[in-house]
Structure 1
Amino acid sequence: MDKTRFKELLKVNLRYANPQQTTKNREKGKSGASLTRSLVMQYFYSGLLFLLIYGFTMLGLDFSQLPGYFTYYMALFGIIAFSQGISVTYNIFFQSQDLPNFLPLPFRQSELFLSKIAVAILTITPLVLPVFVLFIFAGIRSNIFILWAIVGAILLFSCFLGVIFSICSFIVFGLAKTKLFKRHKQLMTSILLIVSVVIAVLGILVMNWQTTQTQMMVSDRPAIGFLLPFFYAITQPLTTNGLLSLFGLVGGVALLVILFRQLLLPKLYEQLLVVSAESTSTKRKHKTNQNLRQVLFNYHVQLIRNPSLLMQVVLNSVILPLVFIASFGFNGGIDLSAMGIQFLGVAFLGGFALAMIMINQTSLIANVISLDKENFLFIQTLPLSLKVYLKEKFRFAYLLQLTLISVVIVIVGVVFHMPLLHLISALCGGLIGCYLMGLRYFRRDYRLLLVNWTEINQLFSRGTGNLGLVFTMIGTVFLSTILLVMYSFALMFLSVLGVNLVVGIVFISGSFLWYHHYQKHFWQTFE
């Protein structure tokens, strides 16, 4: 293998591993060696940050006596690595679509694949570095010579990475071979990325919930059985149990490598070529007898078939409500089954507040105009009313956003045992909140219109940027919570009719003024 060619291949694939970060660095004027160095340092800083955050929390625990927490930390970082590994493996092998460009060049097939695999593992490694420290701490606390503890940690850490990458590869490459994936490539990719992230978030939250339930009752938490071989291999390396665990892990990884080489690798080259060819020659079906609304609807559906967009929209819309549900719902901390009818207004404003939290600058309705790219400039030249076009676009994005909000409200209602009447009231609040907040962010998208973007994160960072997004979401959560608590206490200690009347007048007046403002300063400007 030529080291120079392999090094250049590593640089190319490093850019595909994280296209958003590559674009940001290029916008700062970095290229060539400086761009490569910047990308590598990003992974270094990420690994260092994870080590600093979790390394200190591990110092106070004797993992040699706590197999439960040992396997918990392994599972925690394994889930994070799995989610990232799915995305990275797909980006490097499929999304890059660079294989046809290498055909006329003197690169071997083994060099191409090894470089991609190396970069995929490099991308995952910073996220699981605390597991390496975990192995070292557990070995040292088991009175093993520090040098042997480090050697054992390196071996087990390599096995851990091998298992994670193998699982990600089997999922991505196996799915890419199916007829369903070939027919609906973008849709299946979006589902794959979204499901992997949702599984990761749910897994982390459920494990944290289990830890909260057990940490006050016992000194250790229940161990995760299939990860115990790692524990025995590092804490009891010279015992029969430890040696069998070590040989079993090494043998298992070797078996996964053999299966990957025999089942996936032989036809992977042809598979990637076919995917690249299909991506460059997409056939569109011509539909007849459609009215304007149907034509625009199909066009808008095509716009949102972007895996990165769908993943970001779902994550930024549901992550905060999901954390809330997991923190207060799964442990029975909140039970709304006994809510009286006087709290219907509270439920209504709760749904309204949830819509305010879920709609932000990363929402679909806040970016749907800019998704047109240069097409928006072309559409303005057509004999089509721009107001009619934007109305249809707003309607499309509003219905999708409302669906997402309604699903979350129903989940909240079920988890917190909300009475049916109150759940309906919350859904009505979400419907109105989605419309009013949608007006604000739809107009914001038009005001900050960007048609030459290359990565979806460029749209999300418009205006206040990511820091502003965080402060806005946190501020909305705190302000909504305070107002809902004040409203609830007022109903309990003051006149129910009087309080509801005042709140109703304020809400209706504010909503009307909000609606009138956007009608006058946005929609009427197109007449």
Structure 2
Amino acid sequence: MNLNNVWELVKINILYSNPQALTNIQKKQAKNPKKNFSAYRSILRQQILMIIFFIFIYAYMFVNIDYRQSQGYFSFQVGMFALIAIVSGFTTLFSVFYDSNDTKLYLPIPVKESEVYLAKILSSQGGSLPFLMPIFALFLIAYLQMTNPFLAVIWTLINFLILVLFTNAISIFLVYFTGQMLMKSPHKKMISTSLMVLSTLLAVGTIFYLSSQSNSRDMTLTTTVQMPLIPYFRGFLEVLINPFSINSLLNYWLGLLGLGALLFLIRQLVITNYFKHFLSMEAAKPIKRVIQRNSKPESLTKTLRRHHLSTIKDGTLIIQTYLMPIILVFAFMGPALTNSRLGLSLVTPDFFGIAFLIGTLVGSMLATPTSFLAVAISLEKENYNFLKTLPISFKKFLVGKFLILLVAQLALPLAIYLFAGLFFLKANMVLVLSFLLGAGIAAACLGQLMYWRDYRLLNLTWQNITQLFSRGIGQWFSFILFIGIFVFGVALTVFSIILALHSSAILVSLILVAVILAVIAIIQVIISQNFWKKLP
């Protein structure tokens, strides 16, 4: 393997996977033609800064937990973020390996399969590593509580590297077996989307179940959370406590042996067959279907509805829209909500305003730069300019597209929240409905901002969906939005609960609802005046 070739391919793939960042750098170059800009270095710096920023943010969130008494919760958190990283890595790597159009360009070039494969894996880490940064912060905090700083840093670096290799290995095998299924199938889109959704549903179910097993209790300065110890992931703490114990052998050292076997199989089985799999998938032709026309012509409304829904049949987009926000919500709120001391079944309807506030915060997380509405217009690609020539109102077309995709974007999460609130948390019906109303209103309002953003950053030449996610400051915007909502929302919710308990819960609820609706109304007026009314 020629490492120089690998490095050159990494630079090419970094630019390919970040077209919007490359465009921004080119604009800077145009403004300062005498200044030398290195595009791939600028993108790498941005990714490194984001990773460092993630470490500090998550360290702040974990610092008050006593992991010496919360070893089960430690294993849960490691497993939870590893699952998220595997799902994210699966979707990202599948797009990089099989949805990109650059692989065929390497076939006539004198480069090895292993060089191309390794370059694609390395260049895609900037998009998946942020999901693993919580684990780095988690390791560092837990190890500092149990040993001296020098050993804590060494063990953090070693075990974080092991977990990066582990999550990437699992993701690579998922991509490989998906590719195996698609080699002889013409239904590539349907199968890949189904497998992506299924894998993420399993991850959501696992996280939701494990979070329901928690039992938290507050202490003076720290918090302990009692949860069952999860096999394999518990080994990252037990190896520090006693590296020669039976538990360390079963959950850490055997895990290392299994990881070594996975890496060997990837080297011998996956990498050497990459070009073959890619060419086999390219050769698979779709089945031509005979469309039976109805005797009655289909109405324009039904035709447009089918068209709008057909544009969102992408596995990566579906996962980012539906499942990743649900994972994050239950990951951070699950242990708190399932704590028996909260007694949600005993909370009276007087606290409907606080439920409305929490719903508003959760709804804001459902409309992100990686959701349906945030890329809806760009999904049209070449149809965009064609549709503008048709004898229909293009403004009505965009409004209709927004409404249909808004319903599609909110239906599943709100249904899950309704089920969880009534049957799992056993909350009062008034509280559940107030929560859902707040979530729906907030998601609709923020969804319009995302739709407007897509209109401003319109891209009709994208190659895979991840390119649309990275437009502007896409990753930074998503993360800052989530952290801002989480930190500000928790503080405001806690303050509101304390105020309601020491005064009138109904009065506090009425004030909260009135203030939130007033803020949303102001935002809505701004959107209407500056976006909807200015559409052609």
TM-score of the alignment, normalized to the shorter chain, above 0.5: yes
1:381 corresponding residue in structure 2: 389
Q: Give the counterpart letter for 1:299 in structure 2.
A: H
The aligned length equals 516
Q: Measure how far apart 1:103 and its partner are.
A: 1.4
Question: Which one of the candidate residues 294, 298, 312 is aligned to 2:302?
Answer: 294
CA contact (8 A) 1:373 1:451 kept: yes
Q: Give the counterpart letter for 2:112 in structure 1.
A: R
Give the distance between the partners of 1:68 and 1:323, measured in 2 at CA: 15
Q: Could you say which structure has the greater relative contact order, defined with CA pairs below 8 angstroms and 6 or more residues apart?
A: 2
Matches within 5 A, 1:342-361: 353=360, 357=364, 360=367
Q: Measure how far apart 1:468 and its partner are.
A: 8.7
CA contact (8 A) 2:377 2:454 kept: yes
CA contact (8 A) 1:156 1:230 kept: yes
After superposition, the Cα gap between the structure-2 partners of 1:516 and 1:38, relative to the gap in structure 1 and judged at 3 Å, is: closer
2:175 corresponding residue in structure 1: 172
3-state SS of paired residue (2:426): coil
Q: Measure how far apart 1:422 and its partner are.
A: 6.3
Question: Gapped runs of 5+ residues in structure 2?
Answer: none
1:106 aligns with 2:114: no
3-state SS of paired residue (1:450): coil
Question: Which one of the candidate residues 437, 460, 469 is aligned to 1:457?
Answer: 469
Give the distance between the partners of 1:197 and 1:401, measured in 2 at CA: 17
2:13 corresponding residue in structure 1: 13
After superposition, the Cα gap between the structure-2 partners of 1:365 and 1:478, relative to the gap in structure 1 and judged at 3 Å, is: farther
Matches within 5 A, 1:107-122: 107-119=111-123
CA contact (8 A) 1:94 1:276 kept: no
After superposition, the Cα gap between the structure-2 partners of 1:288 and 1:173, relative to the gap in structure 1 and judged at 3 Å, is: same
Question: Gapped runs of 5+ residues in structure 1?
Answer: none
CA contact (8 A) 1:166 1:257 kept: yes
Matches within 5 A, 1:215-226: 223-226=229-232
Give the distance between the partners of 1:62 and 1:350, measured in 2 at CA: 30
Question: Which one of the candidate residues 257, 271, 274 is aligned to 2:277?
Answer: 271
| Residue-by-residue CA offset, 1:290-347 (whole Å, 9 max, x unaligned) | 332232122212322344543443368647754675254211354454567x769769
Give the distance between the partners of 2:176 and 2:319, measured in 1 at CA: 20
The structure with the largest alpha-carbon Rg is: 1
Q: Measure how far apart 1:509 and its partner are.
A: 12
CA contact (8 A) 1:300 1:396 kept: yes
Q: Give the counterpart letter for 1:251 in structure 2.
A: L
Q: Give the counterpart letter for 1:7 in structure 2.
A: W
Q: Percent identity?
A: 23
3-state SS of paired residue (1:456): helix
Give the distance between the partners of 1:24 and 1:131, measured in 2 at CA: 30
CA contact (8 A) 2:14 2:123 kept: yes
Matches within 5 A, 1:359-378: 360=367, 362=369, 364-365=372-373, 368-373=376-381, 375-378=383-386
TM-score by length of 1: 0.68
Give the distance between the partners of 2:358 and 2:251, measured in 1 at CA: 52
Give the distance between the partners of 2:521 and 2:138, measured in 1 at CA: 58
Q: Give the counterpart letter for 2:174 in structure 1.
A: I
CA contact (8 A) 1:356 1:476 kept: no
RMSD of the alignment, in Å?
6.1
After superposition, the Cα gap between the structure-2 partners of 1:385 and 1:334, relative to the gap in structure 1 and judged at 3 Å, is: same
Matches within 5 A, 1:294-443: 294-314=302-322, 318=326, 322=330, 325-326=333-334, 328-332=336-340, 334-337=342-345, 353=360, 357=364, 360=367, 362=369, 364-365=372-373, 368-373=376-381, 375-386=383-394, 388-390=396-398, 392-404=400-412, 406-410=414-418, 411-420=420-429, 423=432, 433=441, 437=445, 441=449
| Residue-by-residue CA offset, 1:93-128 (whole Å, 9 max, x unaligned) | 223332211111112233323433454568766846
| Residue-by-residue CA offset, 1:407-433 (whole Å, 9 max, x unaligned) | 1440334343134576567667777x3
Q: Give the counterpart letter for 1:14 in structure 2.
A: I
Structure 1 range deviating more: 474-483 or 84-93: 474-483
Structure 1 range deviating more: 7-16 or 120-129: 120-129
2:260 corresponding residue in structure 1: 254
3-state SS of paired residue (1:414): helix
3-state SS of paired residue (1:9): helix
CA contact (8 A) 2:75 2:233 kept: yes
